[in-house]
Amino acid sequence: MNSTKTASPLPNPEETSRNLVSISPFFIVKDLQASIAYYIERFGFQLDFQGPEGDVYYAQVSRDGIGIMLKTILPDVLPCPNHTRHAWARWDTYIYTLDPDALFAEFRQRGASFVKELSFIDDGLWGFEVSDADGYVLAFFRVRKE
């Protein structure tokens, strides 16, 4: 058998790079309804879905094209944000934003819990860090020269 006749053609690298649209981190949470409410009230997200019907244990919240999955497991399976395992690895997700200044002002008005206020949160990254109801740290930033 000739392998060149049975092999799939290689995809065009430019086409495959455009196939990925978004990523949704999946956070284990202690109380699903409390976590959903926090994302809606403090961060302005919307509830996309929760399920399954009759025994709700997971949900997705989203805003401006980004989504975060939330899931309760068992009472003894608790959230484990990165900073609880390694202090230097504090971000559980980072979200590139076009206007961190405006988002910071909105989150402040909504009563979000800031881990780091609007500043250079790392070399060349202008933005801020917030924590959610379970202690996960979300960094919102844009690349900016000082």
Give the span between the Cα atoms of 59 and 37, in whole angstroms: 11
Q: What is the pLDDT along the chain (146 residues), one digit of tens a residue?
A: 444 444 545 556 565 566 777 788 999 999 999 999 999 999 999 999 999 999 999 999 999 999 999 999 999 999 999 999 998 888 999 999 999 999 999 999 999 999 999 999 888 999 999 999 999 999 999 998 87
The alpha-helical segments, DSSP class H, found in the chain are 3-6, 13-17, 32-43, 82-85, 100-110
Reported as a single tens digit per residue, the pLDDT across 94-124 is 999 999 999 999 999 999 999 999 999 888 9
pTM of the model: 0.83
Amino acid 1: pLDDT: 45
Domains of the chain plus CATH, in order, are 22-73+87-143 (3.10.180.10)
Q: State the DSSP code for 140.
A: E
Nearest Cα residue to 57 out of 39, 70, 47, 76? 70
